[in-house]
Structure 1
Amino acid sequence: MENLSGLLLPLLFLVVLYMLLIRPQQKRQKQHQAQVADLQVGDDVVTIGGLHGRITALSDDTMDLLVTDDVVLRFQRSSLARVVREDAETA
């Protein structure tokens, strides 16, 4: 019985660690993967470097962003930080 109670505290610690750290990270990762998969030409996006642009072309692993009138830059799709929605801009 004493051995069982000695294992209870480390098991409780692992459960708390999973709930507070691992599970939220996995949720954010799945959310990011879904966001990258749902990209469409014409979406306004922000990269992890803070660059704002509009998607002009997509391939399996890259996206071309229109930054100014005649500047198009190519980025990895995984460098996406977020998609800028019009309703978020007005708020």
Structure 2
Amino acid sequence: MEKVVECRYWKEYQGLNGWVMFCSAGAFAMRLTREEAKSCGCTEAKRETCKKVMESYIGYSVVPEIIGSKAGEVKAKTPGREPVSPGW
């Protein structure tokens, strides 16, 4: 079956109760810079389409947060995923 939304973050599969379609970037609370969003086609229009599809199939929707890309404007792209040193 052809994917409903062409995006590297879009996941879809058939579960026991029907199709499940969602944005994995939104599901894992990712933050994308404007450049990253543009490179994968995550525009406002496409985000609205993704929201409508998710709401019709699973009842709610989450899409990634788009953040600025200037130096100092982006601190942690994804909350709770700070670089960890091995401590050796």
Give TM class, smaller chain.
Answer: under 0.3
Larger radius of gyration: 1
Higher relative contact order (CA 8 A, sep 6+): 2
TM-score, normalised relative to structure 1: 0.22
Question: Which structure's residues are more often strand, by fraction?
Answer: 1
Between structures 1 and 2, the one with greater helix share:
1
